[in-house]
C-alpha cells in the first residue's frame, strides 16, 4: 500500500483486484513498483523468526530459559500482521510472500521446493493464484513427511513447526477463496494480464498538496 502511494499517490486497494499484494501492484502499476514489494514482504517474513531465533540463542547461551517456540510465534505474528495490518485498517495482503520469507528462515529446503512448485504452476497455468494455492498444498504435505520420516528429510520438522505449516497453508488458501471462485467461474485474470485500469484514472506520481 505504501509503495503504491509513493509511486502514484493511490490506495492500491481501490484498483484492480483491490488486494494490497504483489500481483495487484504488478498488474496495476507495473514491474518497477512490484520489485520493492517483493523485497519488503520477503524480508519482513524472513527477519521476524530469524531475529527471534538469534535472540533465543543468546538467551540460552547466557544460561537463560530456552524459548524454542519464539521463532514460530514470530512467524505467526508477522504473517497476521501482514494480512491484517494495523497501518491500513486491518486490510493487508494474502501473506504468500511473507509466509515464504518465514519458512525460508525456519525450513529453507521445504520453502524452496514450495517456491519451485509456485513458479512451475504459475508459469504453466498462467494463474498466480493456482501457483500460490499449489505451493500451500505442498507446504501442508511435505512437513508431514518430514515429521514422520526425520531421518530422510532435509529440514528438521518439530511438532510446533508442523502445526504452523498446516495452519499457514489453510490460512493462505482461505485468503484465496475469491480467486478460487473466479477460477471455477473462468473469470480469473491470468499472469501477465493487466486489469482494466485506465491510465487516466491513475494520478501522477507523488503526493498531492492536499495529501501533504
Please state, in angstroms and rounded to a whole number, the distance separating the CA atoms of residues 176 and 85.
17
Label residue 199 by pLDDT band (50, 70, 90): very low
Domain boundaries, the chain: 2-194
Lowest mean pLDDT among 41-55, 70-84, 86-100, 120-134: 86-100
Q: Are 56 and 66 a contacting pair, CB within 8 Å?
A: yes
Q: What mean pLDDT do residues 99-104 have?
A: 96
Opening angle at CA 3, ends 33 and 127, nearest 5: 55
Q: What distance in Å separates the CA atoms of residue 23 and residue 26, rounded to the nearest whole number?
A: 5
Burial of 148 (0-12, 13-18, 19+ CB in 10 A): exposed
3-state DSSP helix/strand/coil percent for the chain, to nearest 5? 70, 0, 30
Grid coordinates given for 77? 505474528
Q: What is the pLDDT of residue 63?
A: 95
51 grid coordinates: 531475529
Tens of pLDDT, residues 71-100: 999 999 999 999 898 887 888 788 899 999
- At 12 the pLDDT is 87
- Cα separation, 24 vs 63, in Å, equals 48
Q: How confident is the model at residue 191 (pLDDT cuts 50, 70, 90)?
A: low
Where on the phi/psi map is residue 186: left (φ > 0), alpha (ψ -120 to 50), or beta? left
Mean pLDDT, residues 100-111: 97
Cut 0.85: pTM above it: no
* Angle, vertex CA 16, rays to CA 114 and CA 103, nearest 5: 20
- Residue 69's Cβ-count burial label (10 Å; 0-12, 13-18, 19+) is middle
Q: CA distances (Å), 7 to each of 2, 11, 204, 208, in order?
A: 9, 10, 8, 12
**Of residues 35 and 204, more confidently modeled:** 35
pLDDT tens digits along 137-173: 999 999 999 999 999 999 999 999 999 999 999 999 9
Q: Integer distance in angstroms from the first to the last C-alpha of the chain?
A: 17
Q: HSE on the CB side for 91, CA within 13 Å?
A: 11
Amino acid at each position: 500500500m505504501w509503495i503504491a502511494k509513493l509511486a502514484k499517490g493511490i490506495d492500491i486497494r481501490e484498483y484492480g483486484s483491490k488486494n494490497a499484494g504483489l500481483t495487484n501492484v504488478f498488474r496495476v502499476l507495473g514491474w518497477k513498483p512490484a520489485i520493492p514489494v517483493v523485497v519488503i514482504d520477503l524480508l519482513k517474513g524472513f527477519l521476524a523468526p530469524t531475529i527471534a531465533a538469534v535472540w533465543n540463542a543468546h538467551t540460552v547461551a547466557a544460561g537463560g530459559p530456552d524459548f524454542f517456540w519464539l521463532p514460530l510465534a514470530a512467524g505467526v505474528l508477522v504473517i497476521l500482521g501482514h494480512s491484517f495490518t494495523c497501518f491500513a485498517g486491518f486490510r493487508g495482503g494474502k501473506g504468500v510472500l511473507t509466509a515464504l520469507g518465514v519458512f525460508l528462515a525456519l525450513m529453507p529446503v521445504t520453502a524452496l521446493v514450495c517456491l519451485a512448485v509456485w513458479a512451475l504452476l504459475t508459469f504453466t497455468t498462467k494463474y498466480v493464484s493456482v501457483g500460490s494455492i499449489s505451493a500451500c498444498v505442498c507446504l501442508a504435505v511435505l512437513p508431514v513427511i518430514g515429521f514422520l520420516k526425520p531421518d530422510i528429510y532435509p529440514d528438521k520438522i518439530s511438532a510446533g513447526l508442523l502445526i504452523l505449516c498446516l495452519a499457514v497453508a489453510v490460512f493462505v488458501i482461505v485468503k484465496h477463496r475469491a480467486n478460487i471462485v473466479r477460477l471455477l467461474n473462468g473469470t480469473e485474470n491470468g499472469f501477465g494480464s493487466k486489469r482494466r485500469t485506465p491510465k487516466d484514472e491513475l494520478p501522477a506520481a507523488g503526493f498531492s498538496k492536499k495529501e501533504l
